[in-house]
Amino acid sequence: MSAAAVGARVDEIQKLLVTLQTGSAPPPAPTASTSSFATELSAASVPDPMAMAVTGGGETAYDALIQASAARHGVDPALLKALIRAESNFDPNAGSPAGAQGLTQLMPATAASLGVTDVHDPAQAIEGGAQYLRRQLDAFAGDETKALAAYNAGPGAVTRYGGVPPYAETQQYVQKVLGYAAGYRTATTTPSII
C-alpha cells in the first residue's frame, strides 16, 4: 500500500470516528482497495483507546496484553493490571505533570531504557511497565510493597528509607495498587458450588 493510500485511509478512519462520535452520518462503505485493511482493523484485539473503561466484571480490552507481558516477565497479572489502573485508569493517553505517560506512566528516560519507543502504544507501554515492575521486584527481593513504592517514588527513595518512603502520595499509591490487585485476584477465583 502506498503512502498516499495509507494517508487516504487514515483520513477515512478519522471521518468514521467523528461520525460515530457525533452520529451525524452513516459510515462510508469500504472500497475494494481498503476492504482487506478494514477487515484487519475490525478484527484487531485492541479497540478504540478512547473507550478503555473497565467493564462490569473488571475486564479491560488490555487483559490479553497484560496476561502476556506478565507471563513473559514473571509478574502477577493482577498486580500489573492494578498498577495500570492506578497509574492511568486504562487510558493510553494519560500523562502526568512530571512527564510520565501512557498506560504504565513511564518517564521518558525509563521508557527509553526499556526499549519503549511509543509510550502511547498499549502493547509497548504494558510490556515496558511489566519489565520495570519485574526490575523492582528483583531489586527488593520480591517484596511487592517495596517494588510498588520504587515504581512510584524511585528505587533510590525506597533504599534510602528502607521501605516505603514517607511520601503521602507513594503510601496511598502502594495501598491503592495492592487493594486493586487483591480485588482482581478475588474476581478471578471460581466460587465453589455447594
Q: Which residues are catalytic?
A: 87
C-alpha cell belonging to residue 78: 493482577
Residues 68, 71, 153, 82: is their CA dihedral positive or negative? positive
25 alpha-carbon distance from chain centroid: 32
Grid cell listed for 116: 519503549
Q: Return the residue matching grid coordinates 496476561.
A: 67
Instruction: Kindly state the cell numbers that stand for 15.
Output: 471521518
Give CA–CA dist 39/121, Å, rounded: 21
What number of H helices and E strands is found in the chain?
9, 0
